[in-house]
Structure 1
Amino acid sequence: MADSALTPFVLPEPFEAWFAGRGWQARPHQLALAEESLKGESALLIAPTGGGKTLAGFLGSLIELRERRRSANSDRPALHTLYISPLKALATDVQRNLMGPVEEMGLDIRIESRTGDTPSHVRQRQRRTPPDILLTTPEQLALFLASDHAREFFADLRCVIVDEVHAMAASKRGDLLALGLATLASWAPSCRFIGLSATVREPEALASWLAPDARVLMAEGGVSADVDILISKNRIPWSGHSGRFAVPDVYEAIKRATMTLVFVNTRSQAELMFQELWHANEDGLPIALHHGSLAREQRTKVEAAMAAGALKAVVCTSTLDLGIDWGEVDLVIQMGAPKGAARLIQRIGRANHRMDEASRAVLVPTNRFEVLECRAAEAAVEAGEIDGEGVREGSLDVLAQHVMGRACGDGFRLEELYDDIVRAAPYAWLDWETYERIVDFVASGGYALKTYDRFHRIVRRPDGVWVARTARDAQAHRMNVGAIVESHMLAVRLAQFIGKEKPGEKRSVRAGLKLGEMEEYFLSTLTPGDTFLFAGEVLRLVGVEGMDALVVRAVGDRPAIPSYNGGKFPLTTFLADRVRKMIHDPAQWDGLPDPVREWFEIQKQKSTIPPADHLLVETFPRADRHYLVCYPFEGRLAHQTLGMLLTRRLERMGAKPTGFVASEYAMAVWGMEDISEVDMDALFHPEMMGDDLESWLDESALMKRTFGHCAQISGLIHRNLPGKEKNSRQVSFSSDLIYDVLRSHEPDHILLQAARQDAATGLLDVRRLSDALVRIRGKIDHQALTKISPFAVPVMLEIGKEPVSGASVQDAILGEAEAELVRDAMG
C-alpha cells in the first residue's frame, strides 16, 4: 500500500531559512522524500505537476553533501548523485533551477549536465574529476556503462534520481534504463533510487521498476483541473483531424489568455495548425511553433522566448509534454482528443504549473467521435481516474545492446551479468537459456551467421571475462547507443544560389541555413518545384543534394503537409470503454451537442445502438461495392490488424474482398460480392489470432521493417560508423538480406523472435485485439442494411485519404464526399 506523506522530519536550518525567505514552506511530500533519501531508502514520489517534485528529489542529496564530506573508496573524486531525465532540455533546465538555491544557501556543491550536446573536452574532464551532481539522459548512462573504468567511476554513487519515470518505463528506452539502474545497484550497493512521477495507474508496479524495495509516497492535496470542451460555432466535421473549422474560436481563446500552449498529436497537425493560426492572426500576436523535427537552435529560441514571457501562444507536440516550468502559461488547448486520460492530465499540468492553483484546459474535438472521446477524458479527469501503460516485459534487442555495452566497458562474467540483468524489473522473467542465446548472438550472430566475421563482436578472454573483440567494435557500439530508431532524416536547408542567372543555364546552388530535419520518405514523394509546410513556412523544394534537402521560401495556398512516422497515439482501452458506455446510455447524451445527439437518434432509427459489451457489425451495398463496417473502438493499430486478418478470412470464404480502412473507432472492409450472408460469429472468431496472424506476418513487409529496427537496436546493423553514415536504403537492404537468410536457415533465431514480439505488442496491438475478440464472442449484433448508416459515415470518409495532399484540396474533396454520404445516411 502507498504510504501517507505525513512526517515530523525537519529540514536543517539553512534549508528552512531558504524556504522561509521566499514565503514558502516545504510540503509534506518533500519532507517525506528527503527523510527517506537520508535514510538511504529508495522511494517513488507521485505528485501532480507543480508539486515541487524535482526539488524534493534533490533535497536529501543537498543535505547530505552539505553535512558530510565525501569519502571515496577509489582514487578519484566521487560522483554523489546521478539525475536522469527523458529530455536533454529538461536536464539543462533542472541544472539552472537547482543552481539557484545552491548558490543562495552558499553550498559548496558542483552541479553539471552531460547530454549529447556536451563538448567532448567537458565529458573527458567529467570522467577525470566528476561533479557532485551530474544531470544526464538514459542514453548517456548507457554510454558511461560502455566505457573503460565505468565500475570504478560509479563505485561511490549514493543516489540516482529518475525524473518523469512514467514517461520512460513503458518503452524500449525504459528497458535500457532499467538495465542501467540494475547495473548501478550492483556496482554501488549503498546507492538509493529516487523516482519522480506524475499520477499513474499502478504506482506499486512503477516503484518496483525503479528498485525492488522502493516505497511509494503520494503527495496530498492539489486542486482539480478546470477542463472545458470547445464546441465551435461552426459545424462539427464528420471526419478528419485538422481542426481548421475551430481556428477562429481557438484564436479568441488565445487572445484572452496570458500564454497558451496549443497541443496537437502529430507534427503534421502542428505545421497545419500553426499556419492556420497565422492566417487568423489579424492582431499580430507572437505565436510560435515547437516540435521535434525543427532545428535545435529554433526550439531553444522558442523555449527562451517562453521563459521570458515574450510569446502569446506556442503550437506544440509532445516535445513540451514534460517537466520544464513555463510559469506564464495559464491555458492549455488540446486540439483533437488526447487519446488517454493520463496524457491529458500531463498536458493540463503545463498550465500554471502550481499545485495549489487549478490548471485550465480546453479540449477541441476535431470530429464527431472525438466529441465523445473528449467527454470521456473530461469525466475521467474529474473523477480522478487514470489510464496508461503498465510495466512491460523487456525487449530482447535492447538486452543484446546492453550485453554489448557491458563488454565494451570493463567486460563481464556470464553469471554476474545474468544476476544484474534479472534484477531489472522488465527482465525478471529472463531464463538462463534465453540469456545464453542473446550472448551467443552478440558473440557470433547466431548459428546462421557464424561464418560471417563481421557479426563476431565480443570474445571471451582466458580469464572468463567477455570483452569487445576490437576497439573498432566498441567504437561502433558507442556511436549507435539508444533504443529509439529514428526514420532516416534529411536536413532541410535554405538554398544559396551562386552567380547570376543566365538564360538556358542552371545556377549552382549550395546548402545554407538549417531549418530542421524531415523524414526522407516524405521528401521522396516531392519533385523539385513542389511546395510544402515546414517550420511554420511554405517552402519550395529546389532539390536533394546528399543528406540535404535544399529549399527556398515560397507562397501558395496548396502546400503539401508533411507526413511523419511515429507520434500517433492510440486510443487507450480505458477511454474506449467509457466511449462505448456513453454511446449505449441515452442518459449520457443530454450533455452532447445537438448535431451529435441527432446523429445518435438517427443511427438508432436506421440501424441500432449496441449494448456496451457488444460489437455492432453493419453490412450494406454502395455503388458497385459491398461493405462491412464494425465499431470495436480499440484504436487504429488494432483495427488495421483486424482489417488485414478479416480480408484473409473473407477471401477464404469466397467473398472477394478488395480493401479495408481503419480509424480509431471503426473498421470498414469492402469487396465485389455480397458480405451480408457471412457468418459473423465465425468471421470474428478469436482463432484468427493464431494461424491467420502467423501466416500474414510471415508474408508482410511489416515484419521486415520491424526486424530492421530490432537489428539496429541490437547492434547487428549499424547506421553510424566511424567516418560515415548509412542512408535508409543501405540499412534496409542489409537488414532485408539478413532477414531472408534467417527465415530460410534459422527461423527460430533470437532476433526473429524479438521482431515477432515487437510486431505483436507494438505495431499490431495484438493483445488488445485478442482481448476484444474474446470479449465480444457470441455478442455480435449484425445489421444487414440497404444503405450506409450514420455511424459508418466517418470511417467511409477515411477511404482514399492521402496524408500528404494540400489541406485546402483535401478539405474540398472530403466536403463533396461528405455531403453525398450524409445525404444517404441521414436522409
Structure 2
Amino acid sequence: MTTLPPTLSDWFAAKGWTLHPHQTEMLARAPDPATLLIAPTGGGKTLAGFLPSLAELGPNPPPGLHTLYVSPLKALTADIRRNLGRPIEGAGLKIRVEDRTGDTSYSQRRRQRADPPHILLTTPESLALLLSYEDAPRIFAGLQRVIIDELHALAESKRGDQLVLQLARLQSLTPGLRRVGLSATVENPPALARFLSPRTTILEADPGPDPDISMLETEAPPPWSGGGGRYAIPAILNEITRHKTTLIFHNTRAQAELFFHDLWLQNAQDLPIGIHHGSLSREQRERVEQAMTAGALRAVVCTGSLDLGIDWGDVDLVIQVGAPKNVKRLVQRIGRANHRYNAPSKALLVPANRFEVVECQAALDAVRDHDLDGEPRGPGPKDVLCQHILATACAGPFDAESLYAEVITAGPYTLLTKQEFDACLDFAATGGYALKAYDRWQRLKLTNGKWHLRDPRAAALIRQNLGTIIDIETLKVRLRNQGAPLGEVEESFAASLTPGDTFLIGGQVVRYESLREMTVEVSKTPGREPKIAVFSGTKFATSTLLADRILQIFQQESWPSLPAHTAAWLSLQREVSRLPDPHSLLLESFPHDGREHLAIYGFAGRNAQQTLGLLVTKQMESQGLAPLGFVATDYATLIWGLEPVTDPKPLFDLATLREGLDAWLAGNAVMKRTFRDTAIIAGLIERSHQGRRKTGRQATFSSDILYDTLRRYDPDHLLLRITREEALRGLIDFSRIEQLLARAGPRIDLKRLPRVTPLAAPLFFEPSRIPVEGAGRDRLAAAQAQALMEAAGLA
C-alpha cells in the first residue's frame, strides 16, 4: 500500500486530523489504472484524489510533471492551489504546485512548458492548448496521474467529450497513466465510470446524513405564474437573520439580478448581501468570494457560478428560488451548506409560482429517496472530434489509423465507425465537398502516409479557436469615465437600448449612455426603477424524472404534504376536468374571450413543449383550424385560435409531426444558430483572428452565408448532419416528444369544457407568447376591416 511521507503524517497528527476511510482506500488503490471516487460534498474527496500523488512525490521529488488536475472552473483551480499549499508547506514537502488557466500570464505559461511543476492545475481548454504544442511529448513524458474534479459536471457537456479525447491522447504519450475521477452527485456510477475509462474501479464513500430540506413557509401564496420569488422576500430575510451565511440560488442570471434588487430594497436591517454570477466582472466576483471567505457577508444571491467545489465552511443555509428543474443540480447546491463531513446540509425551496409548488414537492421526495435524474448520453459529438483532429495536427504529423484507434478508446467515441472518423478527417482537411475549392479551408495534407498542417502558420489560428464553450455574444459594461468594468450583457440586449434606458447589473441600477468601441457606457442612477430586464440567461428544462414524479403526485387521493392553497387548486381541477396521468396525454378544449383554446399537458420540459406548439399549430393550420398563437411552459402548451379541435389524434401522429419538423427546420433560425455553434467548435468559423475576438454579429453573418451555401450545394455536408443531430438533442428536444407519444399511445384524451379550467388558468399569465402567421390572422384582419367599413358607413 502507498504510504504518506512521515512529515505529512506528522503534520496531520499535529492538526488532529484523521484520514477518512475513503481517503485511506484511495492510497491503497494508487496503482489502479482508473478510480472513480464518489463522496459527499465536504467529505475531502479532492484531498483523497491528491494523497497518492503526495505520497509518490515524497519530500524531495525529481523535476517534471507528475500529476495533472483538471477542473471545470478556473476559480476552483485557485481554491485547490491554496488548499494544497497548506499540507505541502506544513509538512515541508518540496512539491511545486501551479495553475494554468486563461488567467495565467503569458510569461508563466512559457515557463511552465519549459519547466513544468510537479502538480499542474488546469481546465479542459488550457489542457487542449498544451497538447497542441510540438513539445507536448516532452512536457507530459513523466506524467503519472490525472485527477478530474467534478467529473459529473464535465460529463454532461461537450467539455467532457473534449476532455476524454485529451485523455486518450495523454494515454498514448504516457501508457502507464492512471486516471482518478472525483464526483459528489452521480445517478449512474457505472456509466460515469465508463466515461472515465473502460477499466475503472468505483469507490463510494459513506454518503453521510440526509440533508435537512423543506419548502419555505410564506404568509403569501406564490403567484399563479412567473419565475421570481419576490413574494417570499420577507420570509427569506427572516431566514438570513437566523443563519450565519446563506446562499440564495436562482436558475437564471436575470432572475438573480431582479431578486437581488428587490431583496436590497426590503433589507431594512442593512444586512451585508452580495451577488455572484457569470456575467459580472472577474474583479466583482473575486470581491464577493473574498468577502465570503472572510465571513463578511450574511447572504449571496447567485446562480450556477457557485454550484461547484469552492469550500466555504460558514455557509449554513441554501435557499433555492424557483423549482430546481433537475434533482442532481439541487443536491449539488444543497451540498454548499455545512461543507463538512457527516454534517447535514440545510436547504429551503421557494417555488416561484403555483405549478412549481408541485415540482418542488417532487424534488423533495426525490432527494429523500436518493433518486437522481440523468438523461442517457448520446454518442460523442463529431464537431468536437473535428476540432480534436485539427489540434492533433498542430502538435505534429499523425497517422490516421493510429489516431482512430486512439479516439475509440474514449468512452463516448467507442462506437465511432471508421467511415464516420474518415468523414471528420476529410472535413478537417478540406472543409468538405462544397468547400474544397476554397483555399482557406484546405488545412491538412497527406504526405508519406501521415497527415500534417498544409501551412504550419495555421497552428496559431487553430489554437486561438480551441474549446467547446460557445460564448454568448456579450459586451462589457463600464461606468463612463471610469476604467473598471461592472460586467457584461448580451449583444442583442445592448442593441435594444437607447440613451436614458435603465437596467440592472451587479445589483445596481445603471443608465445607458452610449456604445463606444464595443463597450456599453453607463452612469449610476440610484433609486430609479429599472425599466428593462437584464440578459435572458439560460432556461433549464424540467427533467424527465421530476416530470414523472409530478404526474405521480397528481394521482394521489389527497395532498397532505402540499400547502392548502395548492391542494385546493388540484382538487378543483379534478372536479371540473381531471388531472394528467403518466399513461395518457390529457388535452382540454374550451372557449374564452372569443377564442378557442387547446391545452396540451405533456410535461415534457420547456423546449419540447415549445416545439410541440410549433408542430401542432402547423398541423392545425393545414386542417383549417386557424390557430393564432401559443405559449409553452415546462408542463403544458396552450394554443388559441378561431376553430375548436374535435379530433386531436391526427394532430399527434408521430410520422406527420416528423415531416412537419423537417419542413420547419429547413430554414429556421434555430438551425442557423445551432449551425453557427457547431461550425465554431468544428473549426469552420473563427472565433478569434490574430488574437482579436470577433463580434457575435461577425460570426453570425459568416455562418448564415455558409449555412445557406451548404444547404443549396451540399445538403448532405457533415456539418449540416451534425447540426440536425445537435438541434434535435438540444433546443428542440424532439426525443421527449417521441417519448411522450410512445407512452400515451392511442390514449389521447380530449376534454371539451365550457370554460377555462383551474390547471389551464395560469397559462394565460405566461409571457413569451408566440404568434402563428396564417389563415387565422388573415380572417381576423378581414373581419376587422369589414367592421371598420361598417362603422364608417361604407358597407
Residue aligning to 2:413: 427
Residue aligning to 1:574: 545
Residue aligning to 2:165: 179
Aligned to 1:476, which of 461, 465, 473?
A: 461
Tell me the CA shift for residue 120 of structure 1.
0.6
Asked if structure 1 preserves the Cα contact closer than 8 Å seen for 2:26 and 2:48, the reply is yes
Aligned to 1:62, which of 41, 47, 54?
A: 54
- Pair 1:770-2:741 in alignment: no
Task: Write the distance in 2 (CA, Å) between the matches of 1:383 and 1:98.
Answer: 35
Residue aligning to 2:424: 438
- After superposition, the C-alpha distances for 1:35-81 in whole angstroms (9 at most, x for unaligned) are 212x24310001110110000000001000017854xxxxxx42100
Residue aligning to 1:124: 110
Task: Write the distance in 1 (CA, Å) between the matches of 2:304 and 2:503.
Answer: 22
Matches within 5 A, 1:390-429: 390-429=376-415
TM-score normalised according to structure 1 size = 0.91
Q: 1:747 to 1:607 in 2, by over 3 A?
A: same
Residue aligning to 1:812: none
Tell me the CA shift for residue 153 of structure 1.
1.6
Aligned to 1:51, which of 36, 43, 48?
A: 43
Q: Secondary structure at the match of 1:64?
A: helix
Matches within 5 A, 1:241-260: 241-260=227-246
Aligned to 1:32, which of 5, 25, 37?
A: 25
- Pair 1:490-2:475 in alignment: yes
Task: Write the distance in 1 (CA, Å) between the matches of 2:276 and 2:193.
Answer: 32
Tell me the CA shift for residue 410 of structure 1.
2.3
Q: 1:421 to 1:800 in 2, by over 3 A?
A: closer
Residue aligning to 2:144: 158
Residue aligning to 2:9: 16
Paired letter, 2:671: M
Asked if structure 1 preserves the Cα contact closer than 8 Å seen for 2:275 and 2:288, the reply is yes
Task: Write the distance in 1 (CA, Å) between the matches of 2:206 and 2:133.
Answer: 42
- Higher alpha-carbon deviation: 18-27 or 284-293: 18-27
Tell me the CA shift for residue 566 of structure 1.
4.6
Residue aligning to 1:624: 594
Task: Write the distance in 2 (CA, Å) between the matches of 1:673 and 1:196.
Answer: 56
Residue aligning to 2:789: none
Q: Aligned pairs, how many?
A: 770
Task: Write the distance in 2 (CA, Å) between the matches of 1:472 and 1:801.
Answer: 50
Residue aligning to 2:130: 144
Q: 1:465 to 1:302 in 2, by over 3 A?
A: same
Q: 1:556 to 1:688 in 2, by over 3 A?
A: farther
Aligned to 1:519, which of 490, 510, 513?
A: 490
Task: Write the distance in 2 (CA, Å) between the matches of 1:304 and 1:378.
Answer: 32
- After superposition, the C-alpha distances for 1:581-616 in whole angstroms (9 at most, x for unaligned) are 1012124x1121111111111111221124332221
Task: Write the distance in 2 (CA, Å) between the matches of 1:466 and 1:225.
Answer: 54
- After superposition, the C-alpha distances for 1:742-797 in whole angstroms (9 at most, x for unaligned) are 11111111000111111011111121221111101222221111111000012221
Task: Write the distance in 2 (CA, Å) between the matches of 1:124 and 1:68.
Answer: 24
Task: Write the distance in 1 (CA, Å) between the matches of 2:599 and 2:432.
Answer: 45
- After superposition, the C-alpha distances for 1:290-339 in whole angstroms (9 at most, x for unaligned) are 00000001101110110111111000000000001011100000001111
Aligned to 1:793, which of 757, 761, 764?
A: 761
Task: Write the distance in 1 (CA, Å) between the matches of 2:478 and 2:449.
Answer: 51
- Pair 1:545-2:516 in alignment: yes
Residue aligning to 1:663: 633
Q: Secondary structure at the match of 2:388?
A: helix
Q: Secondary structure at the match of 2:221?
A: coil
Task: Write the distance in 2 (CA, Å) between the matches of 1:268 and 1:610.
Answer: 31
Task: Write the distance in 2 (CA, Å) between the matches of 1:557 and 1:618.
Answer: 44
Task: Write the distance in 2 (CA, Å) between the matches of 1:473 and 1:624.
Answer: 63
Paired letter, 2:391: G
Asked if structure 2 preserves the Cα contact closer than 8 Å seen for 1:689 and 1:770, the reply is no
Q: Secondary structure at the match of 1:45?
A: strand
Q: Secondary structure at the match of 2:186?
A: coil
Paired letter, 2:501: D
Tell me the CA shift for residue 9 of structure 1.
7.7
Task: Write the distance in 1 (CA, Å) between the matches of 2:653 and 2:555.
Answer: 24
Matches within 5 A, 1:701-740: 701-740=669-708
Q: Secondary structure at the match of 1:330?
A: strand
Residue aligning to 1:760: 728
Tell me the CA shift for residue 465 of structure 1.
2.6
Q: Secondary structure at the match of 2:300?
A: strand
Q: Secondary structure at the match of 1:512?
A: coil
Q: 1:770 to 1:560 in 2, by over 3 A?
A: farther
Q: Secondary structure at the match of 1:544?
A: strand
- Higher alpha-carbon deviation: 109-118 or 402-411: 402-411
Task: Write the distance in 2 (CA, Å) between the matches of 1:47 and 1:787.
Answer: 53
Residue aligning to 2:302: 316
Please, which runs of 5 or more residues in structure 2 have no aligned partner? 771-795
Task: Write the distance in 1 (CA, Å) between the matches of 2:663 and 2:580.
Answer: 33
Tell me the CA shift for residue 250 of structure 1.
0.6
Residue aligning to 1:354: 340
Residue aligning to 1:343: 329
Task: Write the distance in 1 (CA, Å) between the matches of 2:276 and 2:412.
Answer: 33
Asked if structure 2 preserves the Cα contact closer than 8 Å seen for 1:658 and 1:671, the reply is yes
Matches within 5 A, 1:574-613: 574-587=545-558, 589-613=559-583
Paired letter, 1:439: L
Q: Secondary structure at the match of 1:570?
A: coil
**CA-atom RMSD in angstroms:** 1.6
Paired letter, 2:599: V
Paired letter, 1:611: D
Task: Write the distance in 2 (CA, Å) between the matches of 1:389 and 1:480.
Answer: 30
Asked if structure 1 preserves the Cα contact closer than 8 Å seen for 2:257 and 2:534, the reply is no
Matches within 5 A, 1:431-470: 431-460=417-446, 462-470=447-455
Q: Secondary structure at the match of 2:554?
A: helix
Tell me the CA shift for residue 101 of structure 1.
0.4
Asked if structure 2 preserves the Cα contact closer than 8 Å seen for 1:365 and 1:374, the reply is yes
Aligned to 2:314, which of 321, 328, 334?
A: 328
Q: Secondary structure at the match of 2:445?
A: strand
- Pair 1:83-2:75 in alignment: no
Task: Write the distance in 2 (CA, Å) between the matches of 1:45 and 1:36.
Answer: 11
Asked if structure 1 preserves the Cα contact closer than 8 Å seen for 2:478 and 2:486, the reply is yes
Q: 1:796 to 1:349 in 2, by over 3 A?
A: same
Paired letter, 1:579: I
Asked if structure 1 preserves the Cα contact closer than 8 Å seen for 2:60 and 2:95, the reply is no
Tell me the CA shift for residue 717 of structure 1.
0.6
Asked if structure 1 preserves the Cα contact closer than 8 Å seen for 2:129 and 2:463, the reply is yes
Overall identity of the aligned pairs, in %? 48
Aligned to 2:710, which of 737, 742, 748?
A: 742
Asked if structure 1 preserves the Cα contact closer than 8 Å seen for 2:603 and 2:634, the reply is yes
Q: 1:34 to 1:564 in 2, by over 3 A?
A: farther
Task: Write the distance in 2 (CA, Å) between the matches of 1:561 and 1:317.
Answer: 20
Paired letter, 2:53: S
Tell me the CA shift for residue 557 of structure 1.
4.7
| Aligned structure 1 segments of 4 or more residues deviating by more than 4 angstroms | 8-12, 67-70, 799-802
Tell me the CA shift for residue 381 of structure 1.
1.0
Task: Write the distance in 2 (CA, Å) between the matches of 1:158 and 1:223.
Answer: 35
Task: Write the distance in 2 (CA, Å) between the matches of 1:110 and 1:798.
Answer: 55
Asked if structure 2 preserves the Cα contact closer than 8 Å seen for 1:330 and 1:359, the reply is yes
Tell me the CA shift for residue 221 of structure 1.
4.4
Task: Write the distance in 1 (CA, Å) between the matches of 2:40 and 2:532.
Answer: 36
Tell me the CA shift for residue 390 of structure 1.
4.2
Paired letter, 1:516: G
- After superposition, the C-alpha distances for 1:113-134 in whole angstroms (9 at most, x for unaligned) are 0010100110110000110000
Residue aligning to 2:247: 261
Paired letter, 1:745: Y
